[in-house]
Amino acid sequence: MQHTVLEKVRVAESTIKQRLGRLGRTQPGDYYALYDFKVDEKKFPTAQICQSELTTIELSLRKSPAQEGLNKIKKFLPDEPPQAAIDMALTKLRRVGM
C-alpha cells in the first residue's frame, strides 16, 4: 500500500483553503490541518516583492522605457516593498556606478 506523506509547513490561511479545494482531484485522501494557535498566522502570504532583494528589479525598471524606479511606481503595486529594501537596492546600484 502506497502512502503520501506531507511535510509540516507554515502557510497562510488562503493557501490552506486552496489546498483543501484540491483534495481528492488526483487521488483519494483525507485532509488534516493542524494549527498552532499560539502563532499569529497571516490570512494571505507575503507578496514576493516584499520578500525579494530589489537590486535587479530596480535596475530593470530604470532600464525600461519608463526609466522609473521603485520609489516612483511602488504606489501602484498591491503591496509596497519596504523602503529600507528599496534604499539598499539604490545603495548597491550607486556603488557600481548606476
Q: Is there a domain that residue 52 lies in?
A: yes
Note whether residue 36 is domain-resident: no
State the residue range of the domain holding 87.
Answer: 48-95
Check: CB of residue 13 under 8 Å from CB of residue 43: yes
Does 41 reside within a domain?
no
Please state at what angle helix 55-63 crosses helix 83-95, rounded to 10 degrees.
Answer: 70
Within a domain: residue 33?
no
pLDDT band at residue 98 under the 50/70/90 scheme: confident
The total number of structural domains in the chain stands at: 1
* Three state DSSP letters for 46-67: CCHHHCCCCHHHHHHHHHCCCC
Q: Is residue 79 part of a domain?
A: yes
pLDDT tens digits for 35-77?
666 666 666 778 888 888 999 999 999 998 888 899 998 999 8
